A and B are shown apart, each in its own frame.
Chain A
Amino acid sequence: MPRSREETIMFEITVNGRVVDANPEETILSALNRVGITVPTLCDMRGLTPTGACRLCVVEIEGCDTLAPACSTIVQEGMVIATHTPKVIRARKMILELLLSNHPDDCTFCARSEDCELRRLAAEYGIRERFFRTNREVTPRLDLSCPAIVRDASKCILCGKCVRVCQEIQKVSAIGFVGRGSETEVSQVFRNSLNVSDCIHCGQCILVCPTGALTEKDSTQPVLQALSDPERFPVVQFAPAVSVTLAEEFQLKPGTDLSGVLTAALRRIGFRAVFETAAAADLTVLEEAQELKERLESGTGLPMFTSCSPAWVRYAEKFYPELLPNVSTCKSPQAMLGAVVKSIYAERKKLDPCRIYSVAVMPCTAKKFEAERPEMARGGLPDVDAVLTTRELASLLRMFGIRLADLQAERADAPFDIRSTAGKLFGGSGGVMESTLRTLYHMLAKKELKTLKIEPVRGMDGIKEMRIKLPGREIGVAVINGIGNMPDFLKRLKLRPDQYQFIEVMACPGGCVAGGGQPLLPDLDRIKLRMHALQTPDQNESLRTAHHNEAVLELYRTALGEVGGERARQLLHVPPMKQEGKP
């Protein structure tokens, strides 16, 4: 990228005896990273205000008495910096020993034992025994109350990354620092549990946590049990955003789409049927387009918000309950698929729906919460019984000794075997919008959009807006990419309420490809590769719209009736949303 303006005002500093260019007003760490010099850090987050919390990035600066944290010290012209002197290394080792002084040492049993950053650094600095023995008992303090996220306060090193993600990126502020000095901890308001806090279960905090303090609630145990129970009929669905990230868990090229291979792998470990959630997304598109069409015709309940991001739905319930009547009543693709499997599929296979154990592999921690919602069940029978994240799926595949490279791609099971490329797009920000507009246009005009690709709603911008011409009218649409953009967008909406008719919201920045259940520590480049993988089929395949998906259309013809009709409403929609605690 050209940075000509910056280059003209760059100055020189010396690092480890080598002359290096630096920009005024950047931190020492940023200058070091640019030239490939690494210093360890546990609290640095690119793009966010530095806090200097962990102190591991300390460096020696000539003329300074004390060591300075590279992440929060601004470079100055002519600075002479040393990053790895014996003094610096001794200090870092001491910092790590202090961090470990009250850290549990049951690493074998920790969910992050493989990829804990604290453990990696401790090994790197040759720490092989507990140097400081504190009087404080190191016992786990587990918060298991939430169906999506588990917090173990004893493993927290107070780096503050989770707090910054929650406050600065997601702008939810469910967690924060509570207490002072040695009593400081990350907690919820009134030290309540996560379960009754303002947490929306997006799981972005898990992605950045350097230790095992934050993890998803483990669902692999009940899934394993169902797989070994001859009385149960285990079935599984996997989301489009899972098929493009699983490769990273197995050190394959990021952005590889493993749909077919994953289908084969899931059959190998004992699932009796494997479905693609992307196919159910086509069902969602038809229902959602129909709902929007009805709302546009009647002029009520506009603008309509999408409902497939469960963290967004929770956010609306917690912070903007007045918006709930505007949220689409469509269930998410996960729940739609679950509902169809325990009804239509069960009838066709002559199975008792109670015997079916329905597993969903999702890029998302909030889906675990969604699956437990009373609305996502019929007659006490939940649509989906267990939700696994991409990370849990990877551990399950390893447990079964599956080698993805040895498997041939297989096709998913009917009726969720065929998906359009629109259904695949669901996994990234703008995807639900693009797919729904394609079908809405076709519903109204009885012909296809001239260009199916709707460029303005793609990409990583926080708020994407456009106007689109439909027969007889023009509508305004917006895509909210990351829940942190919601407060700003709602100000716009308040000023010009008639300007918007349809709004897509994804709680995680980037959409499901960057969900809280995805491989840890993603960077922007990786998220773009994942997004690209979702969009590739849309360039190469011919079935690009939900309303041409034969499998879905057959489902309507033989079992569901009309789009938006009675049976479809009963299975695929929730009752209109109400404010919690109000009749």
Chain B
Amino acid sequence: MSRNALIVDPELRTREMLIPVLKSEGFEIVTAGTAAEALRLINAGKFTLVVSELQLEADDSGFTLAYHFKQREPKGFFLILTALPRNRGIAFSLTDPGAAEWIHADAILNKEARPEQILREIRRIPLK
């Protein structure tokens, strides 16, 4: 069975850079540039993995998206890949027990992550 991944980022460059990385792990890929479009796709399809920026229509769109995704796909993997620390100086970490309670994501990486860092995270998704 093929696995589907959704890439959500306002920048075309980021979306296109992620495609070969996820393809190498055997994912079929769909992309979205806004949270609204991503939400529509999530509700219409079945995704194993979502890789999303935090800052979409709003600075925290990614969090809302993660919440909706997990409501629909509790076993899905949500990876936040964000430039928020660089743009706003705010950082989130899942190792902070408080944050882990309300952030419905499985991993947070910073933009300009190396492919091996992304692979390291998504290889945690069990193959069925």
Contacts and interface: CB of A to CB of B under 8 A. Distances in A.
Interface of A: 139-145, 147, 152, 154, 192-193, 195-196, 221-222, 225, 372-374, 380
B85 interface: yes
A547 to B, nearest CB: 36
Interface stretch (B47-55, B67-75, B111-119): B111-119
A318 to B, nearest CB: 12
A372 B117 CA distance: 8
A580 to B, nearest CB: 9
27 contacts: A139-B89, A142-B86, A143-B85, A143-B86, A144-B85, A145-B109, A145-B110, A145-B111, A145-B112, A147-B117, A193-B86, A193-B110, A193-B112, A195-B112, A195-B113, A195-B114, A196-B112, A196-B114, A221-B93, A221-B96, A225-B95, A372-B117, A373-B116, A374-B116, A374-B119, A374-B120, A380-B124
B91 interface: yes
A144 B124 contact: no
B88 interface: yes
A222 B95 contact: yes
Interface in B84-101: 85-89, 91, 93, 95-97
Interface of B: 85-89, 91, 93, 95-97, 109-114, 116-117, 119-120, 123-124
Contacts of B113: 145, 195
A428 B6 CA distance: 49
A314 to B, nearest CB: 12
Contacts of B120: 372, 374
A147 B113 CA distance: 10
Contacts of A147: 117
A380 B91 contact: no
Nearest to A221: B95
A192 B83 CA distance: 12
B95 A144 contact: no
Contacts of B96: 221
A48 B114 CA distance: 34
Given A193-B86, A193-B110, A196-B112, A142 B117 contact: no
Pairs of residues from A and B, 7 with the lowest C-beta to C-beta distance, nearest first: A140-B89, A142-B85, A145-B110, A193-B112, A222-B95, A144-B85, A139-B89
B91 A142 contact: yes
Contacts of A374: 116, 119-120
Contacts of B109: 145
B112 A141 contact: no
A195 B113 CA distance: 7
Nearest to A222: B95
Contacts of B117: 147, 372
A230 to B, nearest CB: 14
B91 to A, nearest CB: 6
A388 to B, nearest CB: 14
A358 B42 CA distance: 38
A310 to B, nearest CB: 15
A247 to B, nearest CB: 30
A139 B85 CA distance: 10
B91 A144 contact: yes
A192 B112 contact: yes
Contact of B88 (A139, A145, A222, A373): A139
Contacts of A145: 109-113
B97 A225 contact: yes
A158 B112 CA distance: 24
Contact of B123 (A144, A225, A380): A380
A477 B112 CA distance: 39
A193 B89 CA distance: 14
**Interface core residue of B89, B111, B116, B123 (most chain A CB under 10 Å):** B89
Contacts of B112: 145, 192-193, 195-196
A192 B112 CA distance: 8
B38 to A, nearest CB: 23
Contacts of A222: 95
Contacts of A143: 85-86, 110
Contacts of A380: 123-124
A552 B88 CA distance: 50
Nearest to A138: B89
Contacts of A195: 110, 112-114
A473 B35 CA distance: 69
**Interface core residue of A147, A195, A221 (most chain B CB under 10 Å):** A195
